[in-house]
């Protein structure tokens, strides 16, 4: 069984260098497909450097086409039986690829790995040299040498002392109570409720694996969606027979950042596109789940949804409701239209 890791990246060269270093000693790895989505920094040099120790397939978009289009391009170029999707700022732990490969021995699996974040990197563009993002330079003024060292993530750490990275990590793609709690309830549902019919909502944008033939049969990512595109694809994959399963031994570590994150409560184009394809109660109720986990004041206690089984139950209870949009659906239940 051949395994391809598909990395989509844009203007994050120092972080990409660390991610590629984390793949250097992975077993079961056939190739790394790196899709440079219109970068203007030194990404090309980083890929050249990594080609000396990794079997790299390189693709480049002259102008950025977005996460979904980049992922689709990488999947089409890959030769592996199994695809693992990864972002350019996501170093992975030892045994990462092997864990995904083992999960797919059962067949038909959509593998969801365990995601953590390194909050300590949120101000630094280059974690190895502790160089700040331009808009964060003032944040590093007066920072002690000890704190700078805590922010530092090096290739030596990744290759020979990964425990030093794990000690600084927190559950969830992003820091904070809400993302941590979401990661916990998603993995709990995957472990304890394997028959839950909304497990596709536990999909993750990075550290997800799927058979390449199933990915292509589903049509890949919706290329106009750049938020929650992974959940929309996971829904289609499950309809084709894919089964969401946890792969907790496959661990990735997000080198977090202060800018570039888009709130699904504020940037809601994803919801319009999702609803056009899947006008389902569970789609309209996903933001209620997320807002409930972050204790958002707009969610009355009687409407809170605190787990994926609870999301499935709420969707089942409201299956009779008809609406022209997800916001209209929520409004019919007495919920505020906006969570912003």
Q: Count the neighbouring beta carbons within 10 Å of the beta carbon of residue 257.
A: 18
Average pLDDT, the chain: 94
Sign of the torsion formed by the C-alpha atoms of 5, 10, 15 and 17: positive
Weakest mean pLDDT among 224-233, 289-298, 317-326? 289-298
> Rounded to whole angstroms, how far apart are CA atoms 55 and 4?
10
- What is the average per-residue pLDDT within 43-65? 97
Q: Is residue 287 pLDDT above 60, yes or no?
A: yes
List beta partners, residue 252.
92, 115
pLDDT band at residue 326 under the 50/70/90 scheme? very high
Q: By C-alpha distance, which of 4, 61, 54, 13 is closest to 33?
A: 4
State the pLDDT confidence band at 164, using cuts at 50, 70 and 90.
very high
How do strand 31-37 and strand 3-9 relate by DSSP bridges?
parallel
Q: Give the pLDDT confidence score for residue 246 in this predicted structure.
A: 97
252 CB burial (10 A radius; 0-12, 13-18, 19+): buried
Quick one: pLDDT at residue 107? Answer: 84
Distance CA 110, CA 244 (A): 5
| Structural tokens at position 310 | 């609870």
pLDDT for res 245: 97
Distance from C-alpha of 12 to C-alpha of 328, rounded to nearest angstrom: 39
**Residue 135: predicted pLDDT:** 87
Q: What share of the chain is helix, strand, coil (3-state, %, to 5)?
A: 45, 20, 40
Q: What per-residue confidence (pLDDT) applies to 45?
A: 98
Longest Cα–Cα distance in the chain: 60
Tens digit of each residue's pLDDT (9 = 90 or more) over 206-242: 999 999 999 999 999 999 998 999 999 999 999 999 9
Proportion of the chain above pLDDT 90, given as a percent: 85
Q: Does the pLDDT value for residue 337 go beyond 70? A: no
- 160 sits in which H/E element: helix 155-160
pTM, full prediction: 0.94
pLDDT band at 267 (very low <50, low <70, confident <90, very high): confident
As a whole number of angstroms, the distance between CA 223 and CA 219 comes to 10
Minimum mean pLDDT range among 35-44, 142-151, 207-216: 142-151
Q: What distance in Å separates the CA atoms of residue 203 and residue 187, rounded to the nearest whole number?
A: 10
Greatest mean pLDDT range, 243-247, 255-259, 293-297: 243-247
Q: Is the pLDDT of residue 340 over 70?
A: no
Q: Are 219 and 212 in contact (CB under 8 A)?
A: no
Find, among 91, 117, 262, the residue nearest to 175 by Cα. 117
Percentage with pLDDT > 70 across the chain: 97
Architecture of the domain whose range is 3-119+169-255 = Alpha-Beta Complex (3.90)
Segment 179-199, tens digit of pLDDT: 999 999 999 999 999 999 999
> pLDDT at residue 295 above 80?
no
What is the average pLDDT across 73-89? 98
Average pLDDT over residues 59-79: 97
The whole-number average pLDDT for the span 114-138 is 94
pLDDT (0 to 100) of residue 233: 98
What is the average per-residue pLDDT within 34-40? 97
- Half-sphere exposure for 125 (CA within 13 Å, toward CB): 14
Domain boundaries, the chain: 3-119+169-255, 269-332
């Amino acid at each position: 069984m051949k395994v391809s890791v598909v990395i989509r990246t844009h203007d994050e060269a120092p972080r990409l260098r660390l991610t590629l270093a984390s793949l250097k000693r992975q077993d079961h790895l056939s190739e790394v497909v790196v899709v440079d989505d219109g970068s203007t920094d030194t990404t090309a040099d980083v890929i050249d450097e990594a080609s000396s120790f990794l079997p790299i397939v390189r693709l480049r978009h002259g102008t950025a086409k977005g996460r979904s289009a980049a992922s689709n391009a990488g999947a089409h170029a890959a030769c592996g039986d199994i695809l693992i999707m990864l972002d350019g700022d996501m170093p992975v732990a030892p045994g990462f690829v092997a864990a995904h490969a083992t999960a797919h021995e059962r067949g038909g699996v959509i593998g969801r790995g365990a995601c953590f974040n390194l909050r300590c990197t949120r101000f630094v563009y280059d974690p190895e040299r502790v160089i700040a993002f331009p808009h964060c330079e003032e944040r590093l003024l007066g920072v002690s040498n000890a704190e700078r060292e805590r922010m530092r993530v090096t290739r030596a750490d990744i290759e020979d002392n990964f425990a030093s990275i794990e000690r600084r990590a927190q559950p969830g793609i992003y820091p904070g109570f809400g993302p941590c709690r979401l990661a916990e309830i998603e993995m709990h549902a995957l472990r304890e409720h394997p028959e839950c019919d909304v497990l596709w909502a536990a999909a993750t944008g990075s550290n997800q694996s799927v058979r390449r033939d199933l990915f292509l049969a589903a049509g890949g990512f919706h290329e106009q969606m750049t938020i929650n595109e992974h959940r929309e694809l996971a829904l289609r994959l499950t309809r084709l027979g894919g089964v969401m399963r946890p792969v907790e031994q496959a661990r990735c570590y997000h080198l977090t950042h202060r800018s570039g994150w888009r709130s699904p409560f504020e940037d809601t184009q994803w919801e319009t596109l999702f609803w056009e394809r899947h006008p389902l109660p569970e789609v309209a109720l996903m933001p209620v789940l997320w807002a409930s986990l972050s204790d958002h004041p707009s969610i009355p206690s009687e409407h809170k949804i605190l787990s994926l089984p609870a999301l499935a139950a709420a969707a089942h209870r409201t299956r009779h409701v008809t609406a022209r949009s997800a916001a209209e659906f929520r409004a019919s239940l007495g919920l505020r239209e906006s969570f912003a």
